[in-house]
Structure formats: C-alpha cells, structure tokens
Structure 1
Amino acid sequence: MNKPATAIPQLTFRAVLLAIVLAMILAAANAYLGLFAGLTIATAIPAAVVSMGVLRLLGGGTILENNIVQTGASAGSSIAAGVIFTIPALIILGYWDDFRYSWVLAIAGLGGLLGVLFSVPLRRSMIVEEPLAFPEGKAAAEVLKAGENPGPGLKILAMAGAIGAFVKLAAESGLRLIPDNAVASGFIGKYLGYMGTNLSPALLGVGYIVGLNVGIVVVSGSILSWQFAIPIYQAFFMDSDPALAASVAGAGAADIAGAIWSAKIRYLGVGAMLIGGVWTLFSLRKSLISGVKSGFAAARKGAGHVVAETERDLPMKWMLIALAVFVIPLWMLYQAIVGSWGVSLTMTVIMIVAGFLFVSVSAYLAGLVGSSNNPVSGITIATILFASVVLMLLLGRDSDIGAVAAIMIGAVVCCAAAVGGDNLQDLKAGYLVGATPWKQQLMLGIGAFSCALVMAPVLNLLASAYGIGAPTAEHPNALSAPQATLMAAVAKGMFGGKLPWTMIAIGAGIGAVVIALDEWLKSRGSKFRVPVLAAAIGIYLPLELMVPIFLGGLLSHLVERRHKIGDDEEARDRIHRPGTLFAAGLITGEALMGIAIAVPIVVAGSADVLALPESLHFSQWIGLVVLALVGWLLYRTGARANPAKSTV
C-alpha cells in the first residue's frame, strides 16, 4: 500500500464538482442500459481516466483527487441499478402514470445515503483485517497509480464512445439504417427453432467486461429457455393452453416463441432467481455475521484513540444521527402509501433490517466477484418476498396497495445494497493509494444524491420515447426493464395476482441443479464457475440480448489467449485495461445517444421523427457486418496492449 500523504489535496472543490457531473452522466447512461439489457456496469475506471485528463487540463490533479472523482462518479452505476431494477415496477403495476420526481428522489437519494452508512462498519473487516479481492477497486487503484499519461485512455474512450453513439443513431430508434436485431426462426417438423442476436455494440462491451465465464453462463441459460423449453412447450403443452394458443393463431415462428417466453418460460428464470437469492444469503451467513461484528468492534476500539488518516471512517455517532434523519422521510413516504402509522412503521423496520443485512451481503459479493457481477436483483427479490409475507398478515392478501408497498421497501433496499457494494470497491481503491476513508464515504454520499436528482427526468424521457415494459402498439420496441417487470410480477402474485407457479417451481428446481453443479466445480477447484443468479438472468432474458454478451466475453478470452496470460492477475488487468476502456466507451456512447434520440421523439410525439426513407434501410446482414467490425476493433484494442506495462 502507498504511504499516506495527508498533505495531498483530496476533497477539493474541482474534484467534487467533476465527480458530480460525471456521476449524473453515467447514471443516465446506466439507466438506459439497465432498462434495455437488464445489466449495468461499474464506472469507476472510465471516471478515473476522464478525471486524470480533465484535471491535467486544469493544471494537474493529485492521485487522491482523482480517487475522489472516481469514488463520486461510481455512484452513477449503483444508483441507476437500484432505481431501474425496482421503481419502473410502479409503472408496470399501474400505480403511477409517470415517474414522480419527489418520490424517486426520496427513494433513490435516501436509499443511496443509507447504503453508504450501512457499509461503513464493514470497511475494516473486508478490506483491512481479512481483505477480499474487490477486483474493480484494485483495477481502479492500478489505473490511478499509472495516471501520468491519461491521454491514450481518453482517446480510446472517445473513439469507442463515438462508435457506440453512431451505431445507436443508425438503429431502429434513430435513422433506421440497420435493425436492432438479427433473427432467424421457423419450424422443423414440430420443433420451433429460434436464434438471434441483438446488434448493440454496448452489449459486446458488457460481455468484454464481465468475461467469458459469465458470458457462457448467461447464454447457456437463454439457450435452455429458447432452444429447449419453448419448443417443448409449443410441441406438447400448447393445446392445453387455449388462451395462449388463440393469441398466436396465424402468427410466425418468432412471434409464437416470443409469446410463449413472455407468458410462461421466463418464469423459469423467476424460480431460479428466487432459489438463488435464498442460497446466496445462506452461503454467506458466517462471513456476514463475522464482518458485521468486526466492523462494530473496530468502531468501539477507535473511540478515544488517535487514528491514522488512512483509517478514519465517518464517526459512528454522526452516522446514527444521519440514519435517523434519513429514515424519517421514508417512514412518512410509506405512511402516504398505506395510510396506517402502524403498517408504515413496520415497513420502515423491515427496510432498515433488510437494508443493513443486504448491504453487508452486497459488499461481500462485490469483494468476491466485483460490482458489475453483484446479484443485487436477487437480493431485492428476497426483500420483496419477505416484505410481502409480513404485509399480507397486516393488509390481507387481497390488498390493493400491498404489492406497491412491497416494491417501495424493495426499492430503498435495492438502492442501498447497490451503493453499499460500490462503496467497498471505492474504499479498496482508496486503501491501496493511501486515501482517507471518511472523505471517500462523504463523496460517495454526495455522488449518490446527485444521481438521484436526475433519475426521474431521465426515466420519464425514456418512457415517453421508447416505452417501458411490455411492447404496445405505440411502443413496439419498448425497453424491457426485465428486473422491474420481474419485481412487479412477484409482488402482484403475492397479493391476489396470478403467477404460473408450476413454471416458477420448475425454475427453482433448475436453480437447485445449477447450485449443486457450482458447488461441485468449487470442490474440484475449477476456475470455471456457474453462478446461479447469472444463469437465472440468462433464462429470464431474451436470447438475442445474451448472444452479444457471450461474444464480448469470447473476445476478452481471445485477448488473453493472444498474450498467453495464465494466472497472473496483474498482467490480466494491464492487458484488459485498454479493452475495458473501449468497452466502456461503447456502452456510454450508445446509452447517451439513446437518451439524446429520445428528446426529438418526445418533442415530435413520433417514434419515426428521425427515420430516413425506407429505401435507405439496410438488411440485418449489414447490421451483422457492423457488429462484427465493432467486435474486431474491440479485440484489436485489447490485442495491441503491452503486457509488460500499463497503457493508460
């Protein structure tokens, strides 16, 4: 670890301002990505590179200033995840017609601040005493240390951002030069065949960042749904479901497959995700209890002692005061929903207990697999299920407001859990570069609340332009919001709604098999693992979204093979840094262009406002060529990296 230099500027005005601006931009980009693909990415490394470049233009920045910027900016991905995984469920349930600014601000902003507070006691145990890997925090620290020449990294980000933006502009929601998907479907006898890929460069970038292991798992889950479960249901069970059969009478193979997936098969993923969330909590029970005890013991030990600058957390006394201040508005919010002080108090208690518990789980998982792979959605489902059971006892199963109340609890917990995992990643980076923990914790709180300020306008813009949830005549290519749709379905099913429980039970069985397989691989010391929540996401989401993620992971693996990287994690980080920046640029450029395109669509009131004449529309083959070219550029950027030194 670097020796601390307490005189080095950290929490400067320019660093705070730059962090806030980057956090808001990255929150908007991740909101689009999450509603589109059900995934968000950690943004600390791109933010660190941008910070080094911008502060250099302003006369030069210290490594600790750049660390503060990446800390605050990283809140963009965590707040976006917490919001888009849950709050759109209120639209899907019909409780809201649009995203209410004050409510979204309260849920996201206060939930994020609670995530910071709940994660503070965990720092010492997870980073100092029994340090976890925190791969993204470690990578961010390496980027900060190698920050003498940020120019190449900025060029990579800018070039990839321009490419991602151009391809998005050319796609169906923009100029319509190329389609969004390339799909082939048809019948072979009674077998319903379906294969396709989305043509999004952003999904290639996501795959490159998460790697081949996760890419294989998610695409395998989708293959299970689309190549096995859907054809089996169509061939053997369609006749016993006259309503579904009537709805697809005369439709093509692709439409039939989509209808079966939407009505039945995606609930296999729900079951797998439910069992995965329960298993995650069970498997982490000892580490969780140990981490919490260690954190509070360290806080008590520090009282009355001189503490080094690099070990100073936010004071426990002020944390407890802030906790009370932040919880009271949420209690009032819950009261406005259910109209009962007793029920709203119960909701608040559930929120606090589940929030602290799941922030701890999220922090531990972020230490193991990174923030990008952190299964926050599984954590949130567990929260909603538990909250629903308690609320059913208080409100009754037929309550009109029960599902909404459960979602409101889950939304705060989801924001807190996402921010909590992100906080530990940032504190890991700070620990490695000699930063002051309380300054990072304060900056993350500022960044989280800043992101909350822009979430409602961004969501309203995207909902007006593209639609959210199930496709409609007005929005045939709506943003699927897969996690929010799942949360809405689970909550509604608990309160008088109908869910295909048989499919959910089968999915839970599939999840149990995946868990057993993963445990067997773990016992053999295998590097390849099968995380159940990644498999569940693959089962739940459309196949065409998972294929480019797998291809991006394959490109990442080919880069490693080219450089013959074995078990040297530091060399792997150096190799992947340029490719990671290129991937992050693709994601950010496409997402920001998606938001920019939404503006003229909303103003004109027409999804065709930017569309060129039909004679200029190209086939899906041209789209595949474009995607292949982007993939080649991504591979080439990683393949040209120098394994002996950092390139950014």
Structure 2
Amino acid sequence: MNNAAPRQLTFRAVLLAVVLAVILSAANAYLGLFAGLTIATAIPAAVVSMGVLRLLGGGTILENNIVQTGASAGSSIAAGVIFTIPALVIMGYWPDFKYWWVLGIAGLGGLLGVLFSVPLRRSMIVEDPLPFPEGKAAAEVLKAGENPGPGMKILGLSAAIGGLVKLAAASGLRLLPDAWTQSAYVGGSRVTAFIGTNLSPALLGVGYIVGLNVGIVVVSGSILSWHIAIPLYQAFFIDGNPALAGAIADAGASDAAFAIWGSQIRYLGVGAMLIGGVWTLFSLRKSLLKGIKSGFAAARKSAGAVQLAETERDLPMKWMLVALVAFTLPLLGLYQAIVGQWHVSIPMTIIMIVAGFLFVSVSAYLAGLIGSSNNPVSGITISTILFASAVLVLLMGRDSALGPVAAIMIGAVVCCAAAVGGDNLQDLKAGYLVGATPWKQQLMLGIGAFSCALIMAPVLNLLAHAYGIGAPTAEHPNALAAPQANLMASVARGLFGGKLPWTMIALGAGVGAVIIAIDEWLKKTGKRFRVPVLAAAIGIYLPLELMVPIFLGGLLAHLVERFHKLKPDDEDGRDRVHRPGVLFAAGLITGEALMGIAIAIPIVASGRGDVLAVPLGGFAGIWAGLSAWVGLFVLFLVGLLLYRIGKKGEQA
C-alpha cells in the first residue's frame, strides 16, 4: 500500500505560481490605477494551473492549490501598492518610483501580512468558520479539475478579446475612444447634464464578478455626484467660489462638470470613505477581539502538542516572532532614513506593527464575509493614515514637509499587509476544504508576495511614463486616475497644513453616516440587498463613466441567475452556474490589463504617445464622428457574449 502524501510544494508548482503571480500582479496594478478596483485571481490561476500541470504529466489537487495560493498574491500585493505608493509621486516627493524603496515597502508589508494572518486561521476557518466565498469557490474549481480544457479555452478567448479592444483604443491604435459620453447645459442655464460609459470590457468583467448589488451601489454613488451634487453646486454655490466660476465660465458642459467634480464634489467621497473606515473598525471590534484571542490560544496549544496532523500544522509561532523582529528592523531603518529622527521613526514603526496586526485582522474578517474583491482595504488604509498623521503632527509639527510622506509610508506597509492578510485567509479556506497543509500554503504566499514586490516598481514606472498617473496633463490627457492614491495624498497633505475642501468632506461624512444607517436597517430587517458604505464612497469619488460598465456587468450576472432560476440562498448553485462567466470576465480583465502594459513599452521607448496610432488621412474626420458609436457597439457585443457564456453555466 502506498501511504505517501500527495505532492504539494513541488518545484514546478512554486515556479508556476511565481510566474502567474507576477503576471497577475502587473495586470491588477493597471486595473487598480485605471478603475480603483482589483479582483481576486485565485480561480483563473487554479484553472491555468490545472491546464499547465496536465500538459506536464498531471498534477495533484494539492499542487494546483499551491499554485493558486501563490498566484493569488498578485492581486493583494498590487492592491496594497497602487492604493498608496503612487501618492509619493503625486505629492512630488519622488520624481518616479524608486525600486529599492518600493521593494522594501511592498515586500516587507506583504510578509508581515502573512505572519499576522497565521494566528487567525484556526479561529476564522476551523473553530468559528466564516464563509470566505472566493476560497470556497476556488476549492470547488480544484475539486472539479478533471477537465480544465473548457475553462482554459474560455480564459484564452476572453483575454484575446479584452486585449484586442484595448489595442484598438485611444492609447493604442487610436481607432476607438476610451469612453462614450454626452453632455449639455440644460435649457438656457449653466447646469450640466452628463451621461456616458467607459468602453472598457475589463470594467464589464469587474461588474460581472462583483455582482449586481455592488454594481448598483457604486453607480448610485456616481449618480449622486454627477446628477445631483454637481448640478446643485452649479446652480446655487458656484458664485461662492470665484476662482472656479471664472475657470468654467467659457468651458463646455463636460469640462465644467469635470472641473467642479475634481475640485469639490469628489471630496464627498473622501468624507464618506473616512466615516466608512471608522465605522468598519467600530462595528467589528467584538468579533476581532474574540478571533485574535482564539487564534493565540490555539497557537499556544499547538506549540505544546507532540504531533499534529498535516492538515493542522501552521508555521511555528516561535519562528513567526523571530521573523516579525527580522522584518521590523529594516522598516525601522527605512523610516529613520526618511525622517532622520529616532523619536519619530521609533513611534512610526510601533504604529505600523500595531496597526498592521489590527488591520490584517479586520481585512481577514471582511474577506471572510464579503470576499477579497469587495474587501475595503482602502478604507482601512485611510484610517491608518489619519491616526498616523495625528501622531506625527504632535511629533513633527503641522508644518513639516516630511509629515505627509511619513504617514503615507506607514499606510503603504499596513495596506500591503492588510491586502495580503485577507487574501491569505481566503486561500487557507480553500486549502482547508481540499485537505492542504497550512504551513506550506503560508510559505507559498510569502514567496508569491515577495515575487510580486520585485516587479512593482518597473511596472509602475512603465505605466507612469506611458499614460501618466493622477491628474490629467497636456502630455497625458488620459492619465490613470489612481483614485485611492490621490485620496491618500489629499488626506495626508490636508492634515499637515494643506488646503482641502473641508465643508465637502464634512458633508460627505454625513452622507456616509446616512448610508451606514440604511445598511444597518437592511441588515436588521434581513434584506439580501446591502449598501456597503465604502463601495458607495468609491462611486462618489470616481467618474460616472467608470461605474456604468461595472453596473452593466453586475446586471448581466443577475440575468444569468434569473435564467437559471437560482434561489437567494442557493450559494453553491450560484458558484457553479457563474463559473464560466467568471472565467470569461477574468480573461477580459487580464487581457486588457496586459495589453495596456504591452502598449506602454513602445510608447515609453519612442517617447511618443501616438506611436501605434493608425493614420486615417482624409477619413479621420468621418471616423471621429463614428468611432464612439462603434466602440459602444463593440462593448454591447462583448456583453452579449459574456451573457451567452454565463447563461450556459454549469449544472447547478
């Protein structure tokens, strides 16, 4: 009888996991800078792993689980980096992304996230299990992995479609615009009416993955900004801001709306996000304390055991503490190199460690409830930056030029740790369901996270030079918005003597409080539909055109559910039915994002943004009038194909 344990942490599994992690982290970095959202990548990684390992002679379910564990670190590290580190460039502290600094922040933050999540596994997965929807779905994909061929075909087809549409768009061949928009002043007034949608298939895919509930919430937030707040400000308050009134006096309707949104209205989203981050911490306080105590108690019990089953063995607690010290000392040196004052760098490091552990716990808990794709890591990070800034104001003074930089550095490490921590528990849930060894997964997550950190700075520099990051400029009129990083920079600078529209932020906090109250009422009355405040805040903070395709993608997912007559509580059936659609959506996102990075290479090499543009000659004027409608039709065709593939589903 052969009692050998199934293969798990093999060389080929580690190598494949690292390759996928690097590719998916680059794709998520582009997506996050573009749309302010990242997606979990465990399921596409699992499908690719099953296909590749089958070509190499077959792989065990535990090998495939190791691959998806390491590869999924790509989304978490990318989120942690792009939500925070671009703020240092936006603030002008860095002219570009410094390789060793980015590696230190992202690598050490990611490894801390792995360490901090270890004592939480038993309490959140074994003793008092949370749903961890994406971990559960990944486990189902792994269990059904006898025939990965159809899934690979779906991924390949959709990635090609997403890539080709991106190549044809404004940053590539310039045959299609990035968005279809219509705007006009209403009647004889100076009040703007604005409608439009981005033409990105990736955003349609994001919407399919996050679902109709989140899609409705984010587009409602944008409608609040663009169809209510901007017209009200134009009609009644513009005269109180002479500089803005003069700037838009002769502007077109669209330019006027974007100017008002950029300088005033988007800060409603800042206020809503701030109150949402504080509320998240407050509402989870009892559950978090219980989970942390349970995790440490389980770790002490395990340390005294003679032998544990393979499926119960975490990384040893004593080595966790040694690694914690080893990772903390470089961070102390990093902070000292910034501020040059030990009485500041030591408290910064302490804040980072305490906040890191607390927010990894918050992130893990939220990932367990609503999934990693919906995990409000940005709200967690804002809370960290607010608290760190308050302490640093006391230590460095309100006029310190380095204060905002120091606060962003703390937030960046915590953000990377929190993103990795939530993703880690998601993967450990999948491993628990398929019988994996926890310490091997935890080690693989550390390897995957650090591998992604190695390529973050080059990817960010490539995107910054090709497209621009932050506010549009003459050189980069379609810059990647980097909404969270812009938000972090605004908050940090505002607390150190900078100018912020505090009235708008306060109003936004009030809006956030109302949204929280509505969500609590929905929760108490047992409604399935919820209104997560941080999702609404993202909608308020971002342009309407980005939220519309996300809503449409969520609507497609809902129509697929209606076609299969799924009941509200039929979670297992929902996972299986949506699997082909989720794979198609993930392919759209990955293909478009990777093409965006590929297009950036010739742009940077030539120094010309139009290096790939197709010369249209005398046909250019005619095509300019038609291209937006052609782009809208292309998006319709992609959506139709997504619906048809999703409708086929798998047997529920």
**Pairwise TM-score range, normalised by the shorter structure:** over 0.9
Greater mean alpha carbon deviation, residues 607-616 or residues 467-476: 607-616
CA distance in 2, matches of 1:511, 1:488: 21
Which letter does structure 2 place at the counterpart of 1:636?
Answer: R
Equivalent pairs counted in the alignment come to 641
Which letter does structure 2 place at the counterpart of 1:579?
Answer: G
Aligned to 2:90: 92
Asked if 1:478 corresponds to 2:479, the answer is yes
8 Å CA contact 2:578, 2:650 repeated in 1: no
Aligned to 2:291: 291
Aligned to 1:640: 648
Cα deviation, residue 391, structure 1: 0.2
8 Å CA contact 1:563, 1:643 repeated in 2: no
Asked if 1:118 corresponds to 2:116, the answer is yes
Which letter does structure 2 place at the counterpart of 1:286?
Answer: K
Which letter does structure 2 place at the counterpart of 1:413?
Answer: V
Aligned to 1:69: 67
Cα deviation, residue 304, structure 1: 2.5
Per-residue Cα deviation, 1:150-203 (whole angstroms, up to 9, x for no partner): 000000000000000000000000011110000010011333101110000000
Greater mean alpha carbon deviation, residues 468-477 or residues 616-625: 616-625
Name the SS for the 2:182 alignment partner: strand
Cα deviation, residue 515, structure 1: 0.3
> Which of 630, 633, 642 is equivalent to 1:625?
633
Aligned to 1:193: 193
CA distance in 2, matches of 1:610, 1:346: 50
Cα deviation, residue 640, structure 1: 1.0
CA distance in 1, matches of 2:330, 2:447: 18
CA distance in 2, matches of 1:433, 1:578: 21
CA distance in 2, matches of 1:356, 1:506: 32
Name the SS for the 1:619 alignment partner: helix
CA distance in 1, matches of 2:71, 2:376: 21
8 Å CA contact 2:9, 2:66 repeated in 1: yes
CA distance in 2, matches of 1:533, 1:408: 22
Structure 1 residues 422 and 6, CA gap change in structure 2 (3 angstroms) = farther
Cα deviation, residue 6, structure 1: 6.5
CA distance in 2, matches of 1:440, 1:339: 38
Which letter does structure 1 place at the counterpart of 2:204?
Answer: L
Aligned to 1:392: 393
Asked if 1:403 corresponds to 2:411, the answer is no
Aligned to 1:609: 611
Equivalent residues in 2 for 1:271-350 (5 A)?
271-305=271-305, 306-350=307-351
CA distance in 2, matches of 1:159, 1:242: 53
User: Normalising by structure 1, what TM-score?
Assistant: 0.98
Which letter does structure 2 place at the counterpart of 1:149?
Answer: N
* RMSD across aligned positions (CA): 1.0
Asked if 1:433 corresponds to 2:434, the answer is yes
Which letter does structure 1 place at the counterpart of 2:287?
Answer: S
Per-residue Cα deviation, 1:546-586 (whole angstroms, up to 9, x for no partner): 00000000000000000101121111101000000000000
CA distance in 2, matches of 1:490, 1:502: 14
Cα deviation, residue 380, structure 1: 0.1
CA distance in 2, matches of 1:105, 1:476: 29
8 Å CA contact 1:466, 1:477 repeated in 2: yes
Cα deviation, residue 84, structure 1: 0.1
Asked if 1:156 corresponds to 2:157, the answer is no
Name the SS for the 1:193 alignment partner: strand
Cα deviation, residue 303, structure 1: 1.8
8 Å CA contact 1:518, 1:531 repeated in 2: yes
Greater mean alpha carbon deviation, residues 235-244 or residues 30-39: 235-244
Equivalent residues in 2 for 1:107-506 (5 A)?
107-189=105-187, 190=189, 191-305=191-305, 306-506=307-507
Name the SS for the 2:479 alignment partner: coil
CA distance in 2, matches of 1:393, 1:340: 14
Cα deviation, residue 111, structure 1: 0.2
Which letter does structure 1 place at the counterpart of 2:81?
Answer: V
8 Å CA contact 1:6, 1:309 repeated in 2: no
CA distance in 1, matches of 2:472, 2:120: 43
Aligned to 1:32: 30
CA distance in 2, matches of 1:345, 1:625: 57
Equivalent residues in 2 for 1:455-604 (5 A)?
455-566=456-567, 567-604=569-606
Which letter does structure 2 place at the counterpart of 1:437?
Answer: P
Which blocks of at least 5 consecutive residues in structure 1 are unaligned? Answer: none
Name the SS for the 1:295 alignment partner: helix
Cα deviation, residue 249, structure 1: 2.6
Greater mean alpha carbon deviation, residues 613-622 or residues 196-205: 613-622
Name the SS for the 1:184 alignment partner: strand
Greater mean alpha carbon deviation, residues 184-193 or residues 205-214: 184-193
Per-residue Cα deviation, 1:108-135 (whole angstroms, up to 9, x for no partner): 0000000000000000000000100000
Which letter does structure 1 place at the counterpart of 2:320?
Answer: M
Cα deviation, residue 642, structure 1: 3.1
8 Å CA contact 1:175, 1:612 repeated in 2: yes
CA distance in 2, matches of 1:408, 1:69: 31
Name the SS for the 1:183 alignment partner: strand
CA distance in 2, matches of 1:642, 1:436: 29
Asked if 1:23 corresponds to 2:24, the answer is no
8 Å CA contact 2:34, 2:480 repeated in 1: yes
Structure 1 residues 432 and 364, CA gap change in structure 2 (3 angstroms) = same
CA distance in 2, matches of 1:303, 1:37: 45
Cα deviation, residue 641, structure 1: 1.6
Per-residue Cα deviation, 1:357-403 (whole angstroms, up to 9, x for no partner): 00000000000000000000000000000000000000000001000
8 Å CA contact 2:303, 2:316 repeated in 1: no
Which letter does structure 1 place at the counterpart of 2:91?
Answer: L
Cα deviation, residue 619, structure 1: 2.1
CA distance in 2, matches of 1:111, 1:6: 36
Which letter does structure 2 place at the counterpart of 1:438?
Answer: W
CA distance in 2, matches of 1:341, 1:103: 19
Cα deviation, residue 245, structure 1: 1.4
CA distance in 2, matches of 1:142, 1:459: 34
Name the SS for the 2:26 alignment partner: helix
Greater mean alpha carbon deviation, residues 452-461 or residues 244-253: 244-253
CA distance in 1, matches of 2:214, 2:185: 30
Per-residue Cα deviation, 1:36-84 (whole angstroms, up to 9, x for no partner): 0000000000000000000000000000000000000000000000000
Cα deviation, residue 500, structure 1: 0.3
8 Å CA contact 2:84, 2:488 repeated in 1: yes
Which blocks of at least 5 consecutive residues in structure 2 are unaligned? Answer: none
Cα deviation, residue 643, structure 1: 2.5
8 Å CA contact 1:176, 1:611 repeated in 2: yes
Cα deviation, residue 239, structure 1: 1.3
Which letter does structure 2 place at the counterpart of 1:225?
Answer: S
Per-residue Cα deviation, 1:514-569 (whole angstroms, up to 9, x for no partner): 00000000111000000000000000000000000000000000000001011211
CA distance in 2, matches of 1:66, 1:376: 27
Cα deviation, residue 455, structure 1: 0.2
CA distance in 2, matches of 1:177, 1:155: 27
Which letter does structure 2 place at the counterpart of 1:36?
Answer: F
